[in-house]
Structure 1
Amino acid sequence: MTATADKAAVQTVTLTIDGQEVTVPKGTLIIRAAEELGIEIPRFCDHPALEPAGACRQCLVDVASPGPDGNLRAFPKPQASCTMTVTDGMVVHTQHTSEEADRAQKGVLELLLINHPLDCPVCDKGGECPLQNQAMSHGRPESRFVDVKRVFEKPLPLSSEILLDRERCVLCQRCTRFSKQIAGDAFIDLQNRGAMQQIGTFDENVLDFDGYSPAGPAAEDESGRAFSSYYSGNTVQICPVGALTSAAYRFRSRPFDLVSSPGISEHDSSGSAIRTDHRRGKILRRLADNDPVVNEDWITDKDRFAFTWQNLSDRLERPLVRKDGELVEASWPEAIAAAAAGLKAARDGKGVGVLPGGRVTLEDAYAYAKLARVALGTNDVDARARVASAEEQAFLGSAVAGTGLGVTFADLEKAPAVLLVGFEAEDEGGVVFLRMRKSLGKQKVFTAAPFLTRGAEKLAATLLPVAPGDEAALLGGLDGDALQAISTEGAVIVVGERLAAVPGALTAAVALAERTGARLAWIPRRAGERGAVEAGTLPGLLPGGRSVTSATAAKAVAEAWGVESLPTAEGRDVAAIVAAAAAGELDALVVGGVSLSDVTGLADAIDHAGFVVSLEVRRTRIAEQADVVLPVAPPSEKAGTFVNWEGRLRSFATAIATDAMSDHRVLDILARELGVELGTGSIGQVNAELATLGAAANGERPKAPAVKASKAPKAGAVRLASWHQLIDESALQEGEPYLAGTARATVARLSKATADSIGFAEGSVTVTAGDGDGVTVPAIVTEGMVDGVVWLPTKSPGSWVAQALGVAPGAVVTVKGGA
């Protein structure tokens, strides 16, 4: 269908509002049609992203519409403009042209204010409150209410993060509608009737959410169960009064004290738009910024509340240099000189490994990649601070890097069918889950996993049971309803970074996409992963998806960088770099924002490396063991670009101006001391080079992966399944106890047959691999789970898998029942 025909297919309606004629699509609400004319109708319950409710009655207007005889017939009383759709010939009079509508709106406001406390000066919503504003613009000048107002005990903790002041609530139901319609977490709802009707929480037994134990009183207490949701902070932002507040911001500031700056979240690969509110150089809160193409009106609680990490007491302000075994503060010239001297010696010796981590911006990742190849003469650089593989690198080079904007959020939302493999949308995707949930009932979702998670249930997903390590076989032999659905035009296959640990899985995913015609999307967890791929911060990739072993690719990049040649041997990946450093086969490491617990064996590698340079925001455990520590800016104090999983550039400006420098600028100074002009001193320089390089030409990319699936372990073996929960104990959530209190309980999951085989009935299990103590956590028997599998959260309290077990998902582990 052509664009003209498509436009003609849209049915329109013409009506008159306050004497002005407007034509809008059929089905438009009166309140939206008024907005088209710039006419403001006061409202509380109305929100463009939520279904109409007509709960507050503040948007009452006079309406007349043509009857069967064509004559206008006025409705006997004012109507809610947020629930009534327009009709052809309708005539609407708002408060601006109708005394009746104006009187009705004033009456509603007076009723709302009867029991509302007059505590605007101490209310967190004061200064940005719709009720406050509309009481001044549309309300009565004086109150006629002289009796005692209704009061409740306050605040009522819905969770450790979300607090409810019930006497302020105007029963608009925005919070309950968001929880049900958008997030799928119906933990709060209207309770009681009449004058005592209020928002409250459900009893925990109603929902039967296993693995969760409220920290508060017993279930029969009036407070009910906690608001357990990854998206609960959105209810605070859309609350039109000060009824819902966050513990992290409550009584901390007022809107007129704050400076607001737009930004992009650093927490996942969605690239959600945020607004950072800060005062005197300190972030006090974050809000969701409206971005229709990515996160729309919503962000995760992690995006919203996890910002304290960058301003903790261990924040680095000056460089550190190790002298006589102790780290001491040093000037920048001294620290740069010390770092350069150590790296020169290592470069001329056994070499240097570079580990930037997956949290850096596109510009920073590019600087790390260029430093490794131009200044240190090595391809031993890998930004994947997780399980990685050569198969994954070939997949990224052939199907992801340099491909531009691929599958988008809109494509994922509109897809008739979506297959998730190695990817848990709610835990690992942020707003990916919310965009998919918009299509609930219209989209078939299939998830290849060991059990049906709560997030998958909320997507009405069909479980394709698979043990970790068997995903390749499942994809290769996919049939039935799943194959038929994925063969539908517009279907999408989503693969996560966890498939790097499964030999043959990405190969099988590519083959399935080719066989069915489905589009393929790779969604990593960290914000900087896609940018690192584009920048060539992998041992076998140059910028734009070029293979380091391609002579033409190496020549093109060398010419752009102004050097004679580049190292042509494929470098070590993250695991090999760590192993080489631990074995004394590398003389130095350059480490960016990586945590010791991210990579198995990294602590040992740091201990045995001859020289370590750490670029960090805070004085982490790696920084404590480094020889030179160079402080760098957190995302709020620098400008840069994240490339989200779609391939969309998400640029952001500096929110808080400080003296802290970005990684790419620090590396540019360091390279100069090494005798090389890196040319990464500014964002403009980096972007200009990336634009010049462009994407790989034909023949420059690595070959598509072709790896055979691994053999299944012996019968009776128990395999490990694991992934990060959205709210856990990762480094970027440190210093935020209120958010930590909303995390899901740490539990191990296993099927009844597996539980019976180890003699487990209830209590805890101990999971071990090798000689370590392993992980001991409470366990639950999960219905429908694959036999021979135990699931653990990757980095939750008491369950740090990489550090405690030292194995990747899919590995065979030992499970014993405990008390």
Structure 2
Amino acid sequence: MTTTPEKAAAGEVERTDLVNVTIDGIQVAVPKDTLVIRAAEQVGVQVPRFCDHPLLAPVGACRQCLVDVPDAGNGRGFPKPQASCTLPVAEGMVVNTQATSPVADKAQQGVMEFLLINHPLDCPVCDKGGECPLQNQAMSNGRAESRFSGGDEGIAPAIKRTFPKPINLSPIVLLDRERCIVCQRCTRFADEIAGDPFIELLERGAQQQIGIAEDAPFLSYFSGNVIQICPVGALTSEAYRFRSRPFDLVSAPAVAEHDACGSAIRVDHRRGQVMRRLAGNDPEVNEEWITDKDRFAFTYAHLDDRITYPQVRDTDGNLRPASWPEAFAVAARGLAAAKDAGGVGVLTGGRLTAEDAYAYSKFARVALGTNDIDFRARPLSAEETSFLAAQVVLTTPGNGGVTYDDLESASKVVLVGLEPEDEAGAIFLRLRKAVLAGRTQVVALAPYTTRGLGKLSGRLVPTAPGDEPAAIRSLLEQSEYGIDSTAVVLVGERLATVPGALSAAAELAAKSGARLAWVPRRAGDRGAVEAGCLPNLLPGGRPVADAAARVDVATAWGVDALPEAEGRDADAIVAALAAGELGGLVVAGVDPLDTADPAATRAAIEGAGFVVALDLRSSEVTALADVVLPVAPVSDKSGSFVNWEGRLRPFEATLSNPSSLPDLRILSGIAEEMSLVSAAAPLGFRTVAEVRAEMAQLGPWDGVSTSSTTGAQPVEPSSSVEPVETTDGVDHLRLATWKQSLDNGRMQDGDKYLKATARPPVALVTRAVFDAHGPTITITGDRGSVTLPAAVADDLVDGVVWVPANSFGAGVLSDLASPGSRVRVEGGQA
């Protein structure tokens, strides 16, 4: 390759890896190894295809994409039509597609006729009817009339192949085998992309079909993708089957709300009800894949317990319906009194859009006069607040933030306190893509080799809960891990429960030159950091302790001053409520079961002087609140999520439902009422557009802070896990836990088919513990006992027991103990 300085300056770089081909008489230069079918697309020719998919390896299974490649005198030709989806271009190659070649056209018509021999004529009842590639291409590239006949002139009637139908590949994926054209998209996706090869080709010849083993259903967190990429109606979903037709649906782009990946989705709705969700096409984020949770978990917004009107508590102590003006007025008076009685805390949770989070941040400072605000309704540590301020806020793609593309190009990706298959599905798929391409090695600090890590061919650094700081530092001390500036360190939010772990991760990145990224579980967490839903941060990363930062925000908001002292975090807010140091609480969709101490949180809310709850569905919090205000789900409002990269993911409202309002509109109404009864100022906005304009005007903080919270504060790590102790036949083990992708989360309620695909709760133990106590064990912590089936994890760290966090009962945090604490393990009742 030769490039002159002038050409380099102009962005013109000569490329020696281009190949010149002629397609339908048009010359085009394409990169070496480009498939003919892709080269044809570049000249505007769409070659028909079924098995081909740009994100799957070429297979040439359907043969529908045949093209004519004549000999142009350079030895690049073929005597017969070739499958363009498997044929790479060559210098001087001449390709004639169906647009110019009778040979190619006849070949494609013949393949189409062959595919239709056994395909049923059930288009009027097939879910794929109206959006079916087979339908479309049968009309555009097939014969005008069928020759499939029989019964005349002594010819026996022709009979199409049939099978019993449907069969369940899983509780949610159904297969109609007679519709299958054996393109193998589904088996290739399961094997190449998800790493869950439970479905496979069975039989041979005319009887070849897709199937599963009798004792191995297709249980994958990504199984719904095979339904979407199936080019016929062979694979359908149990939840959507026979419910609608494509031409009855209105489609809208949206962003998945279940995790921090920011996956693009498409929402199809009819007459005010969401009928299905599909993966959107976003090459920079989720490409064309989404998890089953993103695809199917949307019915929670339409359950019978959805709150459809404001409620206030009457003098008899009962909640009664109220109008919006009355609810705003009652909430304003109660919060004003609570503010005077000691102050009001704000717990926002992680479901909020960035605009709603900004509204809560401003409401806390302007209306309530407090920095007692926190979005982290989960176990946390004081160390995390400084870590978020120093390592996370304001990092975006192009501004120090790690991206999905960076994961694909990294030599090493270190996972610390993060299980991507369970906690961030789009990250898992990108990592698997990079691993299969041979570009990336995954190293995980975990108590055992998880199923997801196994599919990433990852290297395990055996780490018991509490040992993470030492394990992280060992990565620097041992050169065999190869952590350098080409590596990426992904830190999960649960690492915050281990003292010193976040400091160690920051130290690892600083000393090795590796890039560091924080991956929370919930869609609204990262936006809440940027919006200032933390006791030590104002919007745009401005430190509360920095006087210049406070003046900057106060000026933009048009108020005299902001509260100076850093506020209480979520745990401290709960403790202050219990001690009577706070007079009230504003809580937004926080489930006490997710907090560090569910019983303490529940008691604090019950004992609070005045509680305002903004929620979508009835809960134990709304049952205790003095004012309950119904908020709109993501399908009913516009907004933005900020994903783990720091990438803004805006979306518009899909549906319109007058029974609820966006959080920001509700807070605006309360603030306006409070300005009439106290010294509080109104928020100054009512719509998402107004909030976005204010956020843009305020912008990020570019001042030099002297606050101690802007640097990650080193914390003394906890001691190593003690060896196994056995007394009277009881083992004392360290508890490891995290949430699985599909569990008992409230935002997964309402779809029984999706729930049936969740992995059953199993306690993982070492072989020695299993032999001593299995196959059923009872685990006892300081909050209660649970009895679960036991299974052996071959490389589980000694002295550890692992259980899923929210797959049984009320969850580990409520029924058992805090993560990392010591629990007793003994034989349970079978």
Coarse TM-score class (shorter-chain normalised):
over 0.9
Aligned partner of 1:161 in structure 2 is 172
2:469 is paired with a residue of what secondary structure? helix
Aligned partner of 2:483 in structure 1 is 486
Task: Report if aligned partners of 1:492, 1:520 keep a CA contact under 8 Å in 2.
Answer: yes
Seen in structure 2, the aligned counterparts of structure 1 residues 483 and 556 have a Cα distance that, compared at 3 Å, is farther
Query: In 1, distance between residues paired with 2:808 and 2:10?
Result: 57
Q: Which deviates the most, 593-602 or 512-521?
A: 593-602
Seen in structure 2, the aligned counterparts of structure 1 residues 56 and 540 have a Cα distance that, compared at 3 Å, is same
Seen in structure 2, the aligned counterparts of structure 1 residues 747 and 680 have a Cα distance that, compared at 3 Å, is farther
Aligned partner of 1:710 in structure 2 is 718
Q: Cα offset for 1:91?
A: 1.1
Seen in structure 2, the aligned counterparts of structure 1 residues 624 and 530 have a Cα distance that, compared at 3 Å, is same
Superposition pairs of residues 191-210 of structure 1, within 5 angstroms: 191-201=202-212, 203=213
Q: Cα offset for 1:472?
A: 0.8
**For 2:49, which of 33, 38, 43 is the aligned residue?**
43
Task: Report if aligned partners of 2:253, 2:265 keep a CA contact under 8 Å in 1.
Answer: yes
Aligned partner of 1:763 in structure 2 is 775
Query: In 2, distance between residues paired with 1:59 and 1:528?
Result: 44
TM-score normalised by length of structure 1: 0.94
User: What are the ranges of 5 or more consecutive residues in structure 2 without an aligned counterpart?
Assistant: 150-157, 676-680, 726-731
Aligned partner of 1:176 in structure 2 is 187
Seen in structure 2, the aligned counterparts of structure 1 residues 751 and 65 have a Cα distance that, compared at 3 Å, is farther
Q: Which deviates the most, 552-561 or 372-381?
A: 552-561
Aligned partner of 1:444 in structure 2 is 441
* Paired residue type of 1:341: R
Aligned partner of 2:566 in structure 1 is 570
Q: 2:136 aligned with 1:133, yes or no? A: yes
Q: Cα offset for 1:594?
A: 1.4
1:8 is paired with a residue of what secondary structure? coil
Aligned partner of 2:554 in structure 1 is 558
Task: Report if aligned partners of 1:553, 1:700 keep a CA contact under 8 Å in 2.
Answer: no
Seen in structure 2, the aligned counterparts of structure 1 residues 798 and 765 have a Cα distance that, compared at 3 Å, is farther
Aligned partner of 1:242 in structure 2 is 233
Aligned partner of 1:331 in structure 2 is 323
Aligned partner of 2:357 in structure 1 is 365
Aligned partner of 1:663 in structure 2 is 663
Structure 1 residues 475-507: Cα deviation after superposition (integer angstroms, max 9, x where no partner):
1232576664212x3210111101110000010
Query: In 2, distance between residues paired with 1:500 and 1:632?
Result: 30
Task: Report if aligned partners of 1:746, 1:799 keep a CA contact under 8 Å in 2.
Answer: no
Q: 2:424 aligned with 1:429, yes or no? A: yes
Superposition pairs of residues 738-757 of structure 1, within 5 angstroms: 738-755=753-770
Q: Cα offset for 1:689?
A: 2.7
Aligned partner of 1:546 in structure 2 is 542
Seen in structure 2, the aligned counterparts of structure 1 residues 36 and 481 have a Cα distance that, compared at 3 Å, is farther
Query: In 1, distance between residues paired with 2:480 and 2:371?
Result: 40
Query: In 2, distance between residues paired with 1:755 and 1:557?
Result: 58
Q: Cα offset for 1:79?
A: 0.5
**For 1:496, which of 489, 492, 511 is the aligned residue?**
492
Q: Cα offset for 1:648?
A: 0.5
* Paired residue type of 1:473: A
Q: Cα offset for 1:585?
A: 2.8
Aligned partner of 1:208 in structure 2 is none
Query: In 1, distance between residues paired with 2:275 and 2:83?
Result: 37
Query: In 2, distance between residues paired with 1:710 and 1:381?
Result: 28
**For 2:162, which of 151, 155, 176 is the aligned residue?**
151
Query: In 2, distance between residues paired with 1:176 and 1:467?
Result: 37
Provide the aligned C-alpha RMSD in A. Answer: 1.7
**For 1:735, which of 750, 765, 770 is the aligned residue?**
750
Seen in structure 2, the aligned counterparts of structure 1 residues 280 and 62 have a Cα distance that, compared at 3 Å, is same
**For 2:254, which of 263, 267, 276 is the aligned residue?**
263
* Paired residue type of 1:540: N
TM-score normalised by length of structure 2: 0.93
Q: Cα offset for 1:21?
A: 1.5
2:517 is paired with a residue of what secondary structure? strand
Seen in structure 2, the aligned counterparts of structure 1 residues 699 and 155 have a Cα distance that, compared at 3 Å, is same
* Paired residue type of 1:421: V
* Paired residue type of 2:402: V
Q: Which deviates the most, 711-720 or 126-135?
A: 711-720
**For 1:26, which of 22, 28, 32 is the aligned residue?**
32
Q: Which deviates the most, 575-584 or 247-256?
A: 575-584
Query: In 1, distance between residues paired with 2:536 and 2:105?
Result: 69
Q: Cα offset for 1:195?
A: 0.9
* Paired residue type of 1:122: V
1:726 is paired with a residue of what secondary structure? coil
Q: Cα offset for 1:695?
A: 2.5
Aligned partner of 1:211 in structure 2 is none
Q: 2:271 aligned with 1:280, yes or no? A: yes
Task: Report if aligned partners of 1:44, 1:56 keep a CA contact under 8 Å in 2.
Answer: yes
| Alignment size in residue pairs | 790
1:335 is paired with a residue of what secondary structure? helix
Superposition pairs of residues 345-356 of structure 1, within 5 angstroms: 345-356=337-348
Superposition pairs of residues 567-716 of structure 1, within 5 angstroms: 567-599=563-595, 600-601=597-598, 602-659=601-658, 660-675=660-675, 676-696=681-701, 697-699=703-705, 702=709, 703-712=711-720, 714-715=722-723, 716=725
Query: In 1, distance between residues paired with 2:13 and 2:444?
Result: 37
Q: Cα offset for 1:541?
A: 1.3
Query: In 2, distance between residues paired with 1:9 and 1:181?
Result: 31
**For 2:502, which of 484, 506, 509 is the aligned residue?**
506
Q: Cα offset for 1:102?
A: 1.2
* Paired residue type of 1:232: S
Structure 1 residues 80-122: Cα deviation after superposition (integer angstroms, max 9, x where no partner):
0100011111111111222221111111111111111100011
Seen in structure 2, the aligned counterparts of structure 1 residues 5 and 329 have a Cα distance that, compared at 3 Å, is closer
Query: In 2, distance between residues paired with 1:457 and 1:302?
Result: 22
Q: Cα offset for 1:658?
A: 2.5
